[in-house]
Amino acid sequence: MVKRKKTGTLIVLSGPSGAGKGTICNELLKQVDTLSLSISMTTRSPRGNEADGKDYYFVTKEQFEEDIKKGNFLEYAKVHGDNYYGTPKKKVEESLASGKDIILEIDIQGALEVKEKMEEGIFIFIMPPSMRELKDRLVKRNTESKDKIIERFKNAYKEINEVTKYNYIVINDEVQNAVDKVKAIILAEKCRVDRIEDFELNNEEELLHELLTL
């Protein structure tokens, strides 16, 4: 019998804005019921029907900076301008300790910070099929001003160079295709020898005796 390690698996989905990591993450959560999401904290205002505690914990800059001081974040960064985004440390640590898998959907600066601290995580880079497609998606989603779109697009060109620091790359050509690939990665990772704690073998002499007395 193979005894697996009791700790959960940390999965980090990351990639440039417009690559579709949010959509992939939501689909994964619907399709894999053993997976839980790390809800980030942010100082940006809620959009549309976003809810506090579900999409993000929406807080003021003062509250966020207080949490930085207290060391409550696994990572945090200023993303696309002046807003803070951060991963609360407690939920991640509790999930992993109790054997639950947890997924983080965060930007590239944050993902690399987590990698420094938790090498054993699975770091997946979500890549758009082409930069033209990324540009079109940023325009179509209609959530940012033209200036913001240009800023995100320029950032994306720089960020793509960080891909070599990740363990896996998934091209988001079609959502279900990409989701299937992420599921396959998680499954394969769970079979890794270094995620096994021990073997429990039956008693060799007893089995040999059974063989000899056939």
For residue 108, give every residue at least 6 positions away whose Cβ sits within 8 Å of its Cβ, in sequence order, or none: 14, 15, 16, 159, 162
Is residue 44 close enough to count as binding ligand 5GP by CB under 6 A? yes
As measured in angstroms, the least distance from the Cβ of 158 to ligand 5GP is 14
Is residue 86 close enough to count as binding ligand 5GP by CB under 6 A? yes
As measured in angstroms, the least distance from the Cβ of 110 to ligand 5GP is 2
Distance, in Å, from the CA atom of 106 to the CA atom of 114, rounded to the nearest integer, reads 10
User: How many residues interact with ligand 5GP (rule CB under 6 A)?
Assistant: 15
> Given the complex with ligand 5GP, which of 155 and 195 has the nearer CB atom?
155
As measured in angstroms, the least distance from the Cβ of 152 to ligand 5GP is 9
Paired tokens of 202:
């039956």
Is residue 64 close enough to count as binding ligand 5GP by CB under 6 A? no
On whether the CB atoms of residues 186 and 122 are closer than 8 A, the answer is yes
Burial annotation 18-47 (CB, 10 A radius, 16+ → b, else e): bbbbeebbebbeeebeebbbbbbbbbeeee
User: Which member of 9, 10, 12, 17 binds ligand 5GP (CB under 6 A)?
Assistant: 17
Which of the 8 DSSP states describes residue 164?
G
Give the binding site for ligand 5GP (CB under 6 A): 17, 40, 44, 75, 77, 79-80, 85-87, 105-107, 109-110
